[in-house]
Amino acid sequence: MENLKSTPLEAEHIKLKAKMAPFGGWNMPIQYESIIEEHMQCRKSAALFDTCHMGEFYFKGDLANTNIEMAFSFKIGTINVGKCRYGLILNEKGGIVDDCIVYRLSADELMMVVNAGTKDNDFNVIKSVLKGNFIFEDRSETTSKLDVQGPLSRELLRKYFPGIIDELKYFSFTKTSLMNQEVILSRTGYTGELGFEIYMPSTICVDVWNDLLKDERIKPAGLGARDLLRLEMGYPLYGSDLDEDTTPLEADLSYFVHLDKDFVGKEALLKQKETELEKIRVGFVCDSRRAPRHGYKIFADGMDIGYVTSGGFSPSLGKGIGMGYVKPQYSSENTILELSQDRVIIKAVVEKIPFYKDGSLRK
């Protein structure tokens, strides 16, 4: 039996009768009552997610003299104080070790937010490239994180962060206070809706959770809804859509790779750019409510041309959607695909992501 970790909110989830399941080494709520209702709650009003399982690293040091740029596919030095940036950590082969967000806390301080299941490895990979004088700490144990996502999230949080909440731009953050503790409030998320993430000392997490839920416009949502929300946006999930054998070029994440700086894996990516890719990530929409699942094979013209990495029923579209890797010649829009496992055959067409286009993300 796996030794699962618990977030500070485990007892609250159980009180709310959540279905709990292992995720990234943690015992997490998958759903409270209904995944689809929790999904719609986030699209229409506001949803509260326990994301305490995610990892937070703290770095302090001269960015130019500690080799920190080598650890990330994207530029760290050009992130302005108060802004955050999404990108990748790669291995020497250009494979994706993790995706993450780096926050520029001050001229020489960073916070890095990484996935739960990869956290320890990420820490070692980043640390292995650092040189000179620096502080690099894993603060995941003492840091809790709650995500408030949905079109009403700003309105709901205004009473806690008056003024500040209205000034915060997309992918920005600020240090502020909540329940007499210093917290980081960022306008980030992974749902496609206007949303905020609050990083706080774990000591206040339960109180903040319960206080937020006093407002009936917000409801808790589990990882099931979170997965569908990110899938409708075409956001990749590490472990399903991204792994160490897949490069950012294959994952169609080149935008987050800055080839005009040095980083681990760059040589491999430059070499890969000169050859034809063997696979590329695409999104597809099915012709029925039937949903493809991770591991289904993808066929086109009667040939096996790839595999599904994420799939599900899209409540917003009323159809099955998914993403996966196909041979590049089958990656253009409207290409007809067949997704198959055992006796299931689902017809689908390649479509541009995001599948869901009406989100409040930038409102």
Partner 1 sequence: MSRYYSKDHEWLEIDGNVGTIGITDYAQHQLGDITYVELPEVGTEIKQFSIFCTIESVKAASDVYAPVSGEIIEVNSKLENEPEIINKSPEEEGWIAKVKVSDPSELNNLMDKASYENYIKELD
Give the binding site for partner 1 (CB under 8 A): 19, 30-31, 34-37, 224, 228, 288-291, 293, 312-313, 320, 344
Q: Please state, in angstroms and rounded to a whole number, the distance separating the CA atoms of residues 121 and 127.
A: 10
Hey, what are 116's tokens? Answer: 């739960």
DSSP 275: S
Q: Please state, in angstroms and rounded to a whole number, the distance separating the CA atoms of residues 356 and 285.
A: 11
Nearer to partner 1, 215 or 338 (CB): 338
Q: Please state, in angstroms and rounded to a whole number, the distance separating the CA atoms of residues 1 and 211.
A: 35
Hey, what are 155's tokens? Answer: 């309105």
Q: Please state, in angstroms and rounded to a whole number, the distance separating the CA atoms of residues 231 and 237.
A: 8
Compute CA distances 299 → 239, 310, 336, whole Å: 23, 16, 9
Hey, what are 271's tokens? Answer: 């070499």
Q: Please state, in angstroms and rounded to a whole number, the distance separating the CA atoms of residues 185 and 118.
A: 24
DSSP 172: B
DSSP 216: T
Whether the link from the prior residue into 354 is cis, omega within 30° of 0, is yes
Hey, what are 30's tokens? Answer: 């998958």
Helix H or strand E encompassing 349: strand 344-351
Q: Which residue has the tokens 């909440």?
A: 165
CB 73, CB 88: distance < 8 Å: yes
| Beta carbon of residue 289, minimum distance to partner 1 (angstroms, whole number) | 4
Nearer to partner 1, 143 or 309 (CB): 309
In one-letter notation, the amino acid at residue 351 is E
Nearer to partner 1, 238 or 313 (CB): 313
Nearer to partner 1, 128 or 288 (CB): 288
353 Cβ partners below 8 Å, 6+ apart?
Answer: 233, 234, 283, 323
CB 324, CB 307: distance < 8 Å: yes
342 Cβ partners below 8 Å, 6+ apart?
Answer: none
Nearer to partner 1, 199 or 313 (CB): 313
Report whether 167 belongs to an annotated binding site.
no
Binding residues for substrate: 197
Binding residues: 197
